Amino acid sequence: MASLLLAFLILQFVQTNCNFDGGSIELGASFVADAQSTTNPWYSHSKMFAFGFHPQGSSYVVAIWLVNAGETTVVWTAYRDDPPVSPNTTLKLTHQGELVLSSKQGLVNKIIASNVSYAVMNDNGNFILYNDQMGVVWQSFDYPTDSMLLGQRLFGGQQLVSSVSKTNYSSGRFRIKMQIDGNLVMYPKNTEDDYASAYWSSGTFEHKTSRNYLYLNDTGLLLINGSNSDAIKYFYTTLNYPVIYRATLGDDGIFRLYFYNDSNSSPIIVWKKTDCPCSVKNICGLNCYCALNHDQPDCVCLPGSDFVELDFKHRGCERNFTKAMCKSGKENDTYYHMVSEEGLLCEDYPYYRAITHFKEECRDSCLKDCDCDAAFFKNSFCERHKFPLRYVKRVYDEPTTYMSFFKTIRVNLNATSVDKEMMTSSSNKKIIGK
C-alpha cells in the first residue's frame, strides 16, 4: 500500500508541465522526462528543493533534489529499485485524482487511484499529497531513502539505505536502522539485526521503547523519547543562525550530517559516523579486508583468494584453488599448507571456538579439519571459520597479539588422475563475494 501511495505521489507531482514556483499542483497537471526535466521541475517556494524527473544515466528517475550553487543533490527517489524510466515518460495527475505514470507509447505503467486533490513541494524538502479536506494522503518524509532533512523523523523499525553511488540512486550496500529497542545501528544491507553485523550504534538500547525516533530539527540531530518528547542523546547541536541541514548515509557506509549556509554555499560536514572508513563492515566484500593507504580505504584479498573483479575490489574475493576431498573424515593435509598473517581479526561468529594455549595448535587444528578454511588465535582462544569469510579487519593496536591462519593449496590437484578422484563433486564451485 505504501508503494502505491508513493507511486501516486510521484505521478501527481510530475504532472506539472511548466516551472512551478512553490504553488500547489492541481488536477490535470503533467510532467515529461526529457532534457529540460532538471531545469523545469516543480520548485519549493524558496527554490531550495525541486521535484521532478532527474537523470540517471541515459534514463530518468522521479526524485527530490536539493538545488545548490548550480549543482543538484538527490535526497529522495521513488521506486528506487525499479528500472529507471525512458525519455518522454509522463507523470500525470488526472482530473479523476489518479496519479499515472505512462510511457511515450501511451502505455500506462502505474496507476494509483486515491482521493488526491493537489500536491505541494515544501521548503524543507517534503513532498505532500492532500485531499480536498487538506488532509495528508501521502508524504515523502514517511518513506525515506538514503537521507533525512530538517523536520524529518526516523521512527522505530524504519531505516535509511545508502545509494549505489552518487549517480546511481538504487539501494546500495549499507543501512542505518532506528531499532524498536531504542538503539540506532548501522549494518551492511541484507544482514540480520545482530551484534556481529553491526559496525556502529548509538548505545541507547537501554531505552527499550518502540516510540524512540531519530529527529533532525533546528536544534540538531538527536534521539527523542517519543513517550515524553525528551532528548535521549544529541549527536550534534546546531549553530545559532539559520542553515540547511541534510543527513545522508553515503555509498561508503558512513552517516554524515551536512549543513549549508545558504542555497549558494557548498555543503560542510559537521558530524559523521564512523570516523574510519575501514571500520565499515563489508566495505570490501567477502574474503577480503580493508587497509588504509594514505588515509584511503584499499581492499586486500585473504590468502588463497583473488578479486572477483579487479576493477571493482569492493565486490570481494573468491577462492583461487579447488578443494580436495576429506580422507576418513579428516582433511588430506598433504595437499594444503597454512599461510599465517599477523594483525587480522574476524568479527563474525565462528563455527567452532575452543581454548588453545599455543598458536601452532590452532593452526594445525584448522589444517586437519575438513570444514575449516581459516583460524584466528588470540588470548588462548582459537576460532575456526568457513569460507566465505566476512567482517575480517586489520588490527593496528598490538597486531602481534592477533594471529590468523589460512588454508591454501600445496600442490596442483589436477596433476594426476588419483588427485582428481579426491576432489569433491562440488569442488569446481568457487565461493565468491556478492
Q: Identify the pLDDT of residue 217.
A: 87
42-46, 208-212, 395-399, range with the lowest pLDDT = 208-212
Determine the 3-state secondary structure of 145 from DSSP.
coil
Residue 321 CB contacts under 8 Å (≥ 6 apart), including other chains: 304, 408, 409, 413
Q: What is the pTM of this model?
A: 0.85
User: What number is the average pLDDT over the span 156-175?
Assistant: 96
Amino acid letter, residue 174: F
Task: Please say whether the dihedral angle defined by the alpha carbons of residues 312, 315, 316 and 318, taken in this order, is positive or negative.
Answer: negative
CA–CA gap between residue 151 and residue 412 (Å, rounded): 62
CA–CA gap between residue 15 and residue 62 (Å, rounded): 11
pLDDT digits (tens, 9 = 90+) for 356-394: 999 999 999 999 999 999 999 999 999 999 999 999 999
Amino acid letter, residue 3: S
Which H helix or E strand runs over 418?
Answer: helix 417-421
Say if residues 354 and 381 touch (Cβ distance below 8 Å).
Answer: yes
User: To which residue does cell 588427485 refer?
Assistant: 419
77-91, 112-126, 272-286, range with the lowest pLDDT = 112-126
Q: Identify the pLDDT of residue 432.
A: 38
**Pairing of β 42-43 and β 71-77:** unpaired
Cis peptide before 297 (omega within 30 of 0): no
Using alpha carbons, select from 128, 221, 220 the residue that is nearest to residue 178.
Answer: 221
Q: What letter would DSSP give residue 82? A: S
Q: Identify the pLDDT of residue 46.
A: 85
Q: Radius of gyration (Cα) for the chain, nearest Å?
A: 26
**Pairing of β 25-26 and β 118-121:** antiparallel
Measure CA 231 to chain center.
Answer: 27
Most confident of 95-104, 187-196, 213-222, 329-338: 187-196
CA–CA gap between residue 426 and residue 418 (Å, rounded): 17
Quick count: other Cβ atoms within 10 Å of Cβ 18? 9
Residue 46 CB contacts under 8 Å (≥ 6 apart), including other chains: 22, 123, 263
Q: Identify the pLDDT of residue 227.
A: 77
User: To which residue does cell 575480517 refer?
Assistant: 392
Residue 299 CB contacts under 8 Å (≥ 6 apart), including other chains: 283, 284, 285, 288, 289, 290, 291, 307, 313, 314
Amino acid letter, residue 298: D
Quick count: other Cβ atoms within 10 Å of Cβ 55? 17
Number of residues that this document lists for the chain:
434
